[in-house]
Amino acid sequence: MKLESIRNFCIIAHIDHGKSTLADRLLEVTGTISQREMQNQMLDTMDLERERGITIKLQPVRMNYEGYQLNLIDTPGHVDFTYEVSRSLACCEGALLIVDATQGMEAQTMANLYLAIDQDLEIIPVINKIDLPAADVEKVSAEIQHILGCKKEEIISVSAKTGENVESILKAVIDRIPPPVSKLDKTKALIFDSSFDDYRGVIAYVRVIDGEIKKGDALTFMVNAKSTEATEVGYFSPRQKSKEKLTAGEIGYIVTGFKDVSDCRVGDTVTLQKYPAEEPLDGYADVKPMVFAGIFCKEGDDYSDLREALGKLKLNDAALTYEPEHAKALGFGFRCGFLGLLHLDVVQERLSREYNLDLIVTAPSVAYQVIGTDGGSQIIASPLDLPDPTRIASIEEPMMVVDIVTPAEYIGGIMQLLQEKRGQPTSSEMEYLDKERVIIHYVLPLSGIVVDFYDRLKNISSGYASMNYEFHEYQECKVRRMDILVAGDPIEALATIVYVDEGERIGRKVVEALKAVLPRQQFEVRIQAAFSGKIIASAKIPAMRKDVTAKLYGGDVTRKRKLLEKQKKGKAKMKAMGKVDIPKEAFLSVLKR
């Protein structure tokens, strides 16, 4: 296929703006999928995506239309999967901007739009759902013109559900999006995603930049310094279809045969062993996880299965990070890094469904930067890694720039929530899209976002507000590690980093929650929350006594006294042992609270 006949593009849209439905119609119009094979959300291949109605993984597909090869990459819309979007954009020359005619521009749509503009992509604005009674095409069109600076006639109005005017999108893709450019140099292909097949090994998803890759070619992965043979090459339609070769400008896959998932990295450059390229492609910036949580198996024997599952999942989710961790109460597990709470939730769900693992996930926390008294700095992902207070000069927390798009009537309640979460307004605190909708710009600690911010935002705005956030900087804060002690023993899994002025309130809440779920023992158990050994909250579970009465033993008071003394000695012996077995179910209950 000649370069002039190839168009590579992706879709940018907020959740529930009809992106997957529009992709279905494009597959229908181009005849890529027959009516017999067609189903809703064709490119959402995971059951989890279909159930939740969201796109989690990018998915490429090739369509043929009027002699042109159209390569579409369907992308997620949620802020937690921005890394998926950025990788898609790097493989394309254009993007469809999909906006709901009933809701208008949303915060996450705008964030992904700016990413596309930074990549210098050709943007084709599309207004979807024009068939709905609540559709306001003129108003949404004015919003798009204000943000994008385009002309009204450049905006395409469609209904993905009914298929109305969808074919005009394909014509616009051919006319407006430029064809890929190749230097006709030595072979280079960029790995933008990958997956693992139990029989064929690692499958690399690639965009060929220069040259060509044929079945049987000896390949070199330049960054990872690994070599292999291309046992199969092909494209997505949307299922994998093999062909003899992939040429410059095309998007497809390479079956590498690698059995070790670490041998194939997203962002690596594939070249030929016989005629290797001199320099690798730029690849992608390393993603920085923002939220951390411990993942443990309920059954200790499943640890090796969890390790293998995380390795395969990371191959399919480049934003996931993990490293081994051990907790006395929970056993061996992994400290995992995520881009947000939805990302954590999806990974947990995929581990449970795809690998049949029964998991315990600890409370999520954020990464802090600790400045030592010696001038050095380190990133702390777990409260247990916090150095001794005498060696800490200061602690800095990650601050996020938060953009909230909301109807103007909810500004007061949202502002109050932002202040409560220690937010600070930016220089341009508010920006009006029109008379009724406004964008609020704030800087907020990430720790204030990960707990319950999104749910409360939706409650305050009756579901109309949308939010996007990105990392801004690290800022000094007054936080300390809070330890939870049960019978004098610190419980590592319940240690958290909290603000000093909120420590007493949070400590009391955790102590009371733990008291409600822990079973009673033969002796009194004290539960405490502490800052550096100083107790800030305390509660006790009374001992469980047997009801020994004189009546039970025929009025023999002496025997009763002997039994009580024996019980007292046994109680003292158990206290001396100093251990309380805490059921894992109790941890789950406390962490959920």
Residue 580: its pLDDT value, please?
Answer: 58
The two three-digit tokens of residue 472, written as one number: 């801004």
Tokens 């599309």 belong to 126
Cα–Cα distance, 539 to 525 (Å, whole number): 9
Residue 575: its pLDDT value, please?
Answer: 61
With 0-12 CB in 10 A as exposed, 13-18 as middle and 19+ as buried, what is 148? Answer: middle
Residue 18: its pLDDT value, please?
Answer: 78
- Report which secondary-structure segment, H or E, holds 454: helix 453-460
Residue 317: its pLDDT value, please?
Answer: 79
Question: What does the DSSP 8-state code read for residue 436?
Answer: S
Strands 6-13 and 94-100: parallel
- pTM, rounded to two decimals: 0.73
Q: What angle do CA 416, 417, 422 make, to 5 degrees?
A: 95
User: Dihedral sign, CA of 32, 37, 38, 44?
Assistant: negative
| 291-363 against 481-592: fold identical | yes
Amino acid identity, position 30: T
Q: Are 69 and 32 in contact (CB under 8 A)?
A: no
CATH of domain 481-592: 3.30.70.2570
The two three-digit tokens of residue 186, written as one number: 């030595």
Q: Which residues contact 573 (CB under 8 A, 6 or more apart)?
A: none
Q: What is the mean pLDDT of each run of 10 residues along the chain (593 residues)?
A: 87 81 88 77 67 74 92 78 80 90 83 84 92 90 87 90 90 93 84 85 90 91 88 90 91 88 82 87 75 85 89 81 82 86 87 89 85 88 83 90 88 91 84 83 88 83 82 89 87 84 88 86 87 86 64 55 75 62 59 55
Cα–Cα distance, 52 to 523 (Å, whole number): 48
Domain boundaries, the chain: 3-176, 188-272, 291-363, 377-477, 481-592
429 has which bridge partners?
none
Cα–Cα distance, 74 to 27 (Å, whole number): 12
Which of 270, 268, 272, 266 minimizes the C-alpha distance to 282?
268
Strands 122-128 and 156-157: parallel
- For 77, the 3-state DSSP assignment is coil
Strands 6-13 and 68-74: parallel
With 0-12 CB in 10 A as exposed, 13-18 as middle and 19+ as buried, what is 335? Answer: buried
Amino acid identity, position 171: K
- For 202, the 3-state DSSP assignment is strand
Q: Which long-range contacts (CB under 8 A, 24 or more apart) does 388-391 make?
A: 389/480, 389/532
Q: Considering the domain 291-363, what is its CATH architecture?
A: 2-Layer Sandwich (3.30)
Alpha-helical segments (H) within 276-378: 303-316, 341-355
Q: Considering the domain 188-272, what is its CATH architecture?
A: Beta Barrel (2.40)
Greatest alpha-carbon span in the chain: 104
DSSP 479-546: EEEEEEEETTEE-GGG-EEEEGGGHHHHHHHHHHHHHHHSPP-SS-EEEEEEETTEEEEEEEEPP---
The two three-digit tokens of residue 230, written as one number: 């291309």
Chain-centroid distance, C-alpha 165: 34
Q: Are 333 and 326 in contact (CB under 8 A)?
A: yes
Which of 266, 260, 269, 242 minimizes the C-alpha distance to 202?
260
Q: Are 292 and 450 in contact (CB under 8 A)?
A: no
CATH of domain 377-477: 3.30.70.240
Residue 551: its pLDDT value, please?
Answer: 47
The two three-digit tokens of residue 209, written as one number: 């930049």
Residue 379: its pLDDT value, please?
Answer: 86
Q: Considering the domain 3-176, what is its CATH architecture?
A: 3-Layer(aba) Sandwich (3.40)
- Report which secondary-structure segment, H or E, holds 573: helix 557-577
Alpha-helical segments (H) within 319-390: 341-355
Phi, psi dihedrals of residue 408, rounded to the nearest 5°:
-60, -25
